Every structure is written in structure tokens, then in C-alpha cells.
Amino acid sequence: MADTPLVSAIVIFLNAEAFLQEAIDSILAQSYQHWELLLVDDGSSDGSTAIAQQLAAQRPEQVRYLEHPGHVNRGMSASRNLGIRHARGDYIAFLDADDVWLPEKLEEQVSILESYPEVGMLYGRTRYWFSWAESRGDELSELSDFAPDFVPEHGIPSGVPISPPTLLPLYLRGKAAVPCTCSLLVRRSVAQAVGGFEEAFTAAHNIYEDQAFYAKMCLNTQIIAAPHTWDWYRQHPRSSTALAGGAGQDGQHRLFFLNWLAGYLADHSVQDRAVWQALQRELWRVRPPSWLPSTPRTLHAVRWLKKWLLRFEEQLVPSFVSRRLWSVTE
């Protein structure tokens, strides 16, 4: 096993008793067995703490339980970073406590990244998993939407290294599907080099904590989007994404992310024109006019109108005009 890369699987959880064991079982079932599991407790008050501690006690050679000092809640980014700081693996894979991996995930992903030493991040096509609720009879299954499962297309070439910062403007403009965290395999050295996750993305803003991490990876390393599906992303009404979206404030949270990105690009002297133009377009779409009544319905209507204006602009306005329109004012 000396030459077999170690994978650090990081599972963060907060009051995830209903699903945590299923997530853990999907790691235990991996065909690739050279992994360590870091169970990061973000201040749980339910039975998930006991589940994690019991497994760590049973398998101390492969499983560790981590928590913040005082068992406090610090958010998803701080919890992922705690796992990264304690990781020993060559690679890091993330799994949220309500999602699952398919058995071949680590074996196939490690094989790909071992073949591309210049690539720092790999991801696949995640299954958005609604059907999990059909066979359960608990409260969460009764609340869940029985929509069909689906697997989004990448919207970009699959299986080939993509150089920085090509993917970032595509993500910003909705031209490529943003990956799910549970699909990633990243080199630990690269994740550490970019500073891990951004801990300013707390509370409801954590809906974009993954995209801040992707932005940094897109700017700093080659990435492969593979055509395979290795993970299922559970859709339920108590997930962090559902709760943030349900509050009707997604535009506000996206604006927080975009403003952070503008500051990050400036601080790191990023000059790429396509990145800045994509950011300026998206800022214009999301920012409400100062004179507009700030009711959720009005803001939603304006953003919808701006989205369609941008689509018309793409089709009708010459590219050289568009470049000047979205250029950054010095």
C-alpha cells in the first residue's frame, strides 16, 4: 500500500442523524479502500454526534472525529477547513452528511488523477436525487418533493484537462454546470495552496461557499470534468440549499458571492478579460436599481428581465461591442 495514494474523505455534519449513517456506509462500501474518514461535527445537538464518535472509537486506525472548540457551530466552510487541516491524504474528497457515493467513486477518480499529475481537481456528473423519499416513511420523506431524478450535462468538454481560468467565466454566465461538492476529488496540496474554503460564507450565505472554492480552483489549477456519475445529491426541504432558496433571498446571497469574487480578483491581480467581463455581467444582473422598491417579487421580476436582456445581447450585439460594454472601468 506504500505506493497507493491515500484519500482523505471529509464529511461535515450538523444535526444529520437522519442521513449520516447512510453517507458513512457509502464510504465503507468503496471498492478503493486506502482512505481515511474525517467526521467533522459542526456543533450538532442530535444523535449524529454519537454516530460519528462511535465509529471513530470502533475504527481509530481509519476514522477520526473532529469538532470545533467548545462544540460550537462555525459553518460549512470552517468545518471543511478543519478537515483539510487534519487530512493526511494525497487527495481530498468531500461528502455532505445527506449525500452518498457510488462504490466505484474513489477507485475511478484516483485512477484518473494519477494519470494527470498536472490536474488539481476532478469532478463528475452528479445525480440530483429526489427518489430517495419514495421508500421511506419518515417525516422528511413526507415533506420532500417526488420530482424525477436528473443528471445535468456539464456543458463543457468531458474527460480533458481545462486550463485556468477557462471554467470560471463559464460558471458565472451559466454556460457550464457548477459541480456538486460530493463529486470532487482534489489534490490536498492544491486545496491548501488556495487557502481552502472561505469562512466568511456563513449562515445563509453558505449557499455559495462551494462556488467561492471553485472560483479559486479555476484560477489556479487545471480541472477535469468527467462524464461519469459517482454520487447522488439528496434533495430534501431541510438541506442548506433548500432553506436558503426557500427564504427568497438567493439574489442577495449571490450578490455577496459576486462582491467577494470582485475583491478576490483585485487582491490577486487577476487580469483575465473574460473573467472580469463575466463578473460585470452577473453583477449587473443581480444588483437591483437603487430606486427600486426592495420587495422580493419586484426584485425577482427585475432579475428575470435582466436575464432575458442579457440573452438578447448575446444573440444580437456584436462581440466587440459586448466586450466594450462589459469592460472594467479603470
Q: Please report the domains of the chain, with CATH numbers, ordered by start residue.
A: 7-247 (3.90.550.10), 251-325 (no CATH)
For residues 66 and 82, the answer to whether their CB atoms sit within 8 Å is yes
Q: What cell numbers appear for 10 in the block?
A: 471529509
Tell me, what's the pLDDT at 329? 45
Task: Give Cβ neighbours of residue 84 (< 8 Å, ≥ 6 apart).
Answer: 10, 92, 188, 191, 192, 196, 197
Looking at the DSSP bridge assignments, the partners of residue 98 are none
Tell me, what's the pLDDT at 330? 37
Query: What are the residue ranges of helices labelled H in the chain?
Result: 20-28, 48-58, 76-86, 105-115, 139-143, 167-172, 188-193, 209-220, 240-246, 250-267, 273-286, 296-316, 319-325
Tell me, what's the pLDDT at 294? 67
Strand 63-67 to strand 35-41: parallel, antiparallel, or no bridges (unpaired)? parallel
Half-sphere exposure of 233 (CA within 13 A, CB side): 20
For residues 92 and 7, the answer to whether their CB atoms sit within 8 Å is yes
**What does the alpha-carbon distance between residue 136 and residue 128 come to, in Å, rounded to a whole number?**
17
Q: Residues 222, 225, 230, 232: what is their CA dihedral angle, to the nearest 10 degrees?
A: 110
Tell me, what's the pLDDT at 24? 98
- SS3 assignment, position 8: strand
Q: Residues 142, 125, 209, 253: what is their CA dihedral angle, to the nearest 10 degrees?
A: -70
The pTM (predicted TM-score) of the whole model is 0.88
**What does the alpha-carbon distance between residue 247 and residue 243 come to, in Å, rounded to a whole number?**
6
pLDDT along the chain (330 residues), means of 10: 87 96 98 98 97 98 98 97 98 97 98 98 96 70 70 96 98 95 98 97 88 98 98 79 54 92 97 94 83 68 75 70 59
